[in-house]
Amino acid sequence: MELSVIGRHLEQLGEASTTGFAFQCYPIPGEVEVLRVTVEGREELPLFISVSDDQILCISYLWDESQVNPARRQAMLEAMLDMNIPMPLSAFARLDDWYVVFGALSLNSALTDIEHELAVLSDNCLEVIEDMAEFLL
């Protein structure tokens, strides 16, 4: 699956979207090609898609370490672990100083499955930020 195919599909959905969302896609050139996807109305939480030899990876950056209340950090990490299982299609990770939510799909995923994963990931980001606000500065 190529990122350009995913991007074209998402941008051409319009009323045909099964998720009810409109997407805008922006390729980011580099050593690893990345597609920046924004969900209409949620532009502050873009999703980043990359394709490797064996999977499609979707990531959203939530907050960085400087935004975490140091006195509440341990409690936040425990809350994130507790939240991991009931959060469908997504998991927590840390990239450098950033906390992220990510999901992975098979290279053989249908474009409708990719659209669904992105919508769920976006929903999960909003839920996580709301639930974790008490741990942030």
Give average pLDDT by consecutive 10-residue segment, the chain, 137 residues. 96 90 96 96 96 97 98 98 87 97 96 95 95 98
Domain carrying residue 37: 3-135
Whether residue 135 contacts residue 79, with contact meaning beta carbons closer than 8 Å, is answered with yes
pLDDT for the residue 88: 74
Return the H-helix or E-strand segment holding 131.
Answer: helix 111-132
**What are the angstrom distances between the C-alpha of 85 and each of 19, 73, 116?**
23, 20, 18
- Count of the separate structural domains present in the chain: 1
Q: Inter-axis angle of helices 111-132 and 73-84, to 10 degrees?
A: 150
Look at residues 64, 62, 134, 58 and name the one whose alpha carbon lies nearest to residue 97.
Answer: 64
Q: Specify the pairing of strand 56-64 against strand 34-39.
A: unpaired
pLDDT for the residue 14: 83
pLDDT for the residue 85: 85
pLDDT for the residue 111: 96
Whichever domain contains 13, its CATH number is: 3.30.1460.10
pLDDT for the residue 16: 87
Q: Coil, helix or strand for 56? A: strand
pLDDT for the residue 15: 82
pLDDT for the residue 89: 78
